[in-house]
Amino acid sequence: MTKIIADIGGTNARFALVNDNNAISNVEVLPCADFKSPSEAARDYLKRVGAQPEAGAFAVATALDGSDKVAMTNHVWAFSINETRDHIGLKRLKVINDFAALANAVPYLTEKDRYQLGGGAAQKNMPIAIIGPGTGLGVAGVVFADGKPVPVPTEGGHVTMPATTAREFALFEWLVAHKYHHISAERVVSGKGIVNLYNAICGLDGLSLPERTPAEITKAGLDKSCKVCVEVLDLFCHFLGVAAGNLALTWGAAGGVYIAGGIVPQLGDYFKNSRFRDSYLAKGRFKDYVERIPTFVITHPYPGLEGLKNIA
């Protein structure tokens, strides 16, 4: 039986089919902004690939409360699971958190799907922490029961982000004064966070620079054509390290801390040489504890889809 799976973020929806052999095919990435709803996007996808599956599983970037209603955190889509199922023509549709899907996949990733950045060997059957900056910031964990992985989705991207220097305090004060009442990790460690940092630096330093997208800021930071963008990337990697180190301690993540999402893989060698690992290690008396824990960057292009294929 053919199944449809979709990993739906704040910017893009990744669709694929799963066949009877549990193999993924026909992967397509559709911009969420091009469609009024996930069912409309799914119908468009199925029409083009010429398939009509009976079952499906969607992973969505938002908190789920067990009800039929779903509202995206970083996109305007709000929908009924049952109505979406019927509109697509499915007999069965399961909807889970996007990082629950990712957590389903992480224990089965191989060396070709990731690279290690510091730390020792991952300990078998020990907790794993996952953090992934994309449009927003996803966080999840994996624990093990009788040797079997159990995904634990969370809303850890919305924890408070600490400022530890005068410059960081000043930037956060600017963001509080002009945009947010609470500076969560997502406000500075995500695509939107990259724009927030750019705007805060410009505002704080009295600079009049053109508006830029996350991709434009990243490009200008990597090629060093804009000093503000260079600082943004430095801060982004620093704050990601702070958040990842906090997760390592909170989860006791001897199984490793995994960096997911679409931003970090695009940074390439810049990320490897950034402040990320130093900021991750800045845990005072527990530096040695987190230093033993490996950090991995996921390079698999569609890990969320891998985590969905056994769920539909």
Q: Check residue 179 and give its pLDDT.
A: 96
140, part of any domain: yes
Instruction: State the pLDDT confidence band at 312, using cuts at 50, 70 and 90.
Output: confident
Q: How many helices (H) and strands (E) does the chain have?
A: 12, 13
Closest to 309 (Cα-Cα) out of 64, 26, 11, 12: 26
Give the relative orientation of helices 227-251 and 214-222 as an angle to the nearest 10 degrees: 100
Q: Are residues 145 and 256 in the same domain?
A: yes
Question: 181: Cβ–Cβ under 8 A, 6 or more apart, which residues?
Answer: none
| Rounded Cα gap, residues 49 and 30, in angstroms | 13
Q: Check residue 147 and give its pLDDT.
A: 94
Q: Check residue 300 and give its pLDDT.
A: 96
Instruction: Count the residues in the chain.
Output: 312
Straight-line distance from the first to the last Cα atom of the chain, in angstroms, rounded to the nearest whole number: 11
Q: Are residues 264 and 130 in the same domain?
A: yes
Instruction: State the pLDDT confidence band at 213, using cuts at 50, 70 and 90.
Output: very high
Q: Check residue 295 and give its pLDDT.
A: 98
113, part of any domain: no
37-69 b/e (C-beta count within 10 Å ≥ 16 → b)? bbbbbbeebbeebeeebebbbbbbbbeeeeeee
Average pLDDT over residues 44-65: 96
Beta strands in 120-274, from DSSP E residues, in sequence order: 128-133, 137-145, 148-153, 257-259
| DSSP-based three-state secondary structure for 302 | coil
DSSP state of 183: -
Q: Tell me: the pLDDT tens digits for 96-108? A: 999 999 999 999 9
List the structure tokens of 110. Answer: 């191989």
Number of domains into which the chain is organized = 2
Average pLDDT over residues 163-182: 97
108, part of any domain: no
19, part of any domain: yes
Q: Tell me: the pLDDT tens digits for 115-155? A: 999 999 999 999 999 999 999 999 999 999 999 999 999 99
Cβ–Cβ under 8 Å, residues 257 and 117? no
Instruction: State the pLDDT confidence band at 185, using cuts at 50, 70 and 90.
Output: very high
Whole-model pTM over 0.75: yes
Q: Check residue 1 and give its pLDDT.
A: 86
> Is residue 310 over pLDDT 90?
no
Q: Are residues 86 and 9 in the same domain?
A: yes
Q: Check residue 154 and give its pLDDT.
A: 95
Q: Are residues 47 and 131 in the same domain?
A: no
109, part of any domain: no
Instruction: State the pLDDT confidence band at 71, using cuts at 50, 70 and 90.
Output: very high
- Which residues form the domain of 133? 119-293
